[in-house]
Structure 1
Amino acid sequence: MSSKPATAKQLPQQGGLLSQPKAVWAVAFACVISFMGLGLVDPILPAIASQLNATPSQVSLLFTSYNLVTGLAMLITGVVSSRIGVKWTLLSGVVLIIIFSALGGYSNTIGQIVGFRGGWGLGNALFIATALSAIVGLSTSGTAKAIILYEAALGLGISVGPLLGGELGSISWRGPFFGVSVLMLIGFIFIMVMLPKIPKPKTRSTLADPFRALKFPALKTLAIVAFLYNFGFFTLMAYSPYVMGLDEHGLGYVFFGWGILLAITSVFVAPKLQARFNLAGSMGVMLTLFALDLVFMGLGAATGSPTLVIIGVIVAGIFLGINNTLITTAVMESAPVERSVASAAYSFVRFLGGAVSPFLAGKLAEWYNSATPFYFGGAMVLVAVIVLAVRRRHLAGIDVSHGH
Structure 2
Amino acid sequence: MSRSSGAAHAPSPFRQPKAVWAVAFACVISFMGIGLVDPILPSLSGQLDASHAEVELLFTSYLVVTAIAMLVTGWVSSRIGAKKTLIAGLVLIVAFAALAGASSGIWGIVGFRAGWGLGNALFIATSLAVIVGSASGGFAGAIVLYETALGLGIATGPLVGGLLGTVSWRGPFFGVSVLMLVALVATVVLLEPTPVPEHRASLAEPIRALRHRALATTSGVGLLYNWGFFTMLGYAPFLMGGLDPIALGGVFFGWGLLVALFAVFGAPWCKERFGTARTLYAALVGIAVLLAAIGLFDTVPAVVIVAVILSGIVVGLNNTLVTTAVMSISPVPRPTASATYGFVRFIGGGLAPLAAGLLAGALGASVPFLIAAVVVLAGAALLATIHGPLQDADADSVREGASQERADAEAAVREVPGLPAESVIAEDALQHDRR
TM exceeds 0.5? yes
The equivalent of 1:282 in structure 2 is 279
Matches for 1:242-281 after TM superposition, within 5 Å: 242-245=238-241, 246-281=243-278
TM-superposed CA distance for 1:140, in Å, is: 6.6
Q: How many residues align?
A: 391
* Equivalent pair of 1:89/1:130 in contact (CA under 8 Å): yes
CA distance in 1, matches of 2:251, 2:286: 20
| 1:348 partnered with 2:336 | no
Query: In the alignment, which of 71, 76, 79 is matched to residue 75 of structure 2?
Result: 79
Contact 2:97/2:173 (CA < 8 Å) preserved in 1?
Answer: yes
Greater Cα shift, 143-152 or 125-134:
143-152
Contact 2:16/2:142 (CA < 8 Å) preserved in 1? Answer: no
Distance in structure 2 (CA, Å) of the matches to 1:371 and 1:305: 11
Query: Is this contact kept in 1: 2:20–2:142, CA < 8 A?
Result: no
Any idea what SS the aligned residue of 1:250 has?
A: helix
Q: Find the counterpart in structure 1 of residue 360 from structure 2.
A: 365
CA distance in 2, matches of 1:142, 1:229: 34
Would you say 1:52 and 2:48 are equivalent positions?
Answer: yes
Taking the aligned partners of 1:264 and 1:360, their CA distance within structure 2 comes to 30
Shift in Å at residue 109 of structure 1? 1.2
Q: Which residue of 1 aligns with 2:167?
A: 171
Distance 2:325 2:135 in 1: 18
Counterpart position of 1:296: 293
Q: Does 1:158 align with 2:161?
A: no
Aligned to 1:124: 120
User: How far is 1:136 from its partner?
Assistant: 4.7
Distance in 1 between the 2:173 and 2:102 partners?
9
Output the amino acid matched with 2:272. Answer: A
Q: How big is the shift at 1:315?
A: 0.5
Contact kept, 8 Å, 1:15 with 1:140, in 2: the verdict is: no
Report the residue type matching 1:254 in the other structure.
V
CA contact (8 A) 1:261 1:321 kept: yes
The separation in 1 between residues aligned to 2:310 and 2:206, in whole angstroms, is 34
- How many angstroms does 1:175 deviate by? 0.6
Shift of 1:274: 2.0
1:385 Cα shift? Answer: 0.5
Query: Which of 1 and 2 has greater Rg?
Result: 2
Judge conservation of contact 1:155–1:321 (CA < 8 Å) in 2.
no
Contact 2:89 2:120 in 1 (8 A): yes
- In 1, Cα distance between the equivalents of 2:289 and 2:225? 13
- Which structure 2 residues correspond to residues 4-403 of structure 1 after superposition, within 5 A? 15-16=11-12, 20-138=16-134, 149-245=145-241, 246-301=243-298, 304-403=299-398
Q: Please report the TM-score for the alignment, with normalisation by the length of structure 2.
A: 0.85
CA contact (8 A) 1:162 1:255 kept: yes
Q: Which amino acid aligns with 2:368?
A: P
CA distance change for structure 1 residues 25 and 275 in 2, over 3 Å: closer, same or farther? farther
Distance 1:38 1:374, change over 3 A: same
In the alignment, the residues of structure 1 paired with residue 139 and residue 219 of structure 2 have an alpha-carbon distance, to the nearest angstrom, of 20
2:12/2:138 contact within 8 Å kept:
no
CA spacing shift, 1:141–1:389, aligned 2, 3 Å: farther
Residue 146 of structure 2 aligns to which amino acid in structure 1?
Y
CA distance in 1 between partners of 2:137 and 2:316 (Å): 21
Change in CA separation of 1:108 and 1:371 when aligned onto 2, cut-off 3 Å: same
Contact 1:14–1:140, Cα closer than 8 Å, also in 2: no
State how far apart, in whole Å, the 2-side matches of 1:399 and 1:142 are.
25
Tell me the CA shift for residue 395 of structure 1. 2.8
Secondary structure at the counterpart of residue 169 of structure 2:
coil
- Cα distance change, pair 193–276 in 1 and its aligned pair in 2 (3 A): farther
AA in 1 matched with 2:213: P
Contact 2:232/2:308 (CA < 8 Å) preserved in 1? Answer: yes
In structure 1, the gaps of 5 or more residues are 1-11
Aligned counterparts of 1:321 and 1:237: Cα–Cα separation in 2: 14
Cα-to-partner distance string for 1:83-128 (whole Å, 9 max, x where unaligned): 1111110110010000001000111111111111111111011111
Give the counterpart letter for 2:212 in structure 1. Answer: F
The verdict on how the C-alpha distance between 1:396 and 1:146 changes in structure 2, with shifts beyond 3 A counting, is farther
1:17, CA displacement in angstroms?
5.4
Identity value in percent: 54
Aligned letter for 1:247? D
Distance 1:134 1:178 in 2: 26
SS of 1:218's equivalent?
helix
Question: Is the alpha carbon distance of 1:348 and 1:143 closer, same or farther for their aligned partners in structure 2, counting shifts above 3 Å?
Answer: farther
Residue 374 of structure 1 deviates from its aligned partner by: 1.3
Whole-angstrom CA distance in 1 between matches of 2:317 and 2:77? 29
Pairwise CA RMSD of aligned residues? 2.1
- Of stretches 319-328 and 131-140 in structure 1, the one that deviates more from structure 2 is 131-140
Shift of 1:144: 8.0
Tell whether the 8 Å contact from 1:133 to 1:340 is kept in structure 2 after alignment.
no
Question: Residue 152 of structure 1 contacts residue 266 of structure 1 at CA under 8 Å; is this kept in 2?
Answer: no
CA distance in 1, matches of 2:337, 2:13: 23
Determine which structure has greater relative contact order: mean sequence separation of CA pairs < 8 Å that are 6+ residues apart, divided by chain length. 1
User: 1:99, 1:367 → 2: CA distance?
Assistant: 36
2: CA distance, partners of 1:217 / 1:370: 36
Alpha-carbon distance between aligned partners in 1 of 2:314 and 2:52, rounded to the nearest angstrom: 26
Instruction: Tell me if the contact between 1:159 and 1:259 (Cα under 8 Å) persists in the aligned partners.
Output: yes
How far apart are the structure 2 equivalents of 1:218 and 1:199? Answer: 33
> 3-state DSSP class of the match of 2:225?
helix
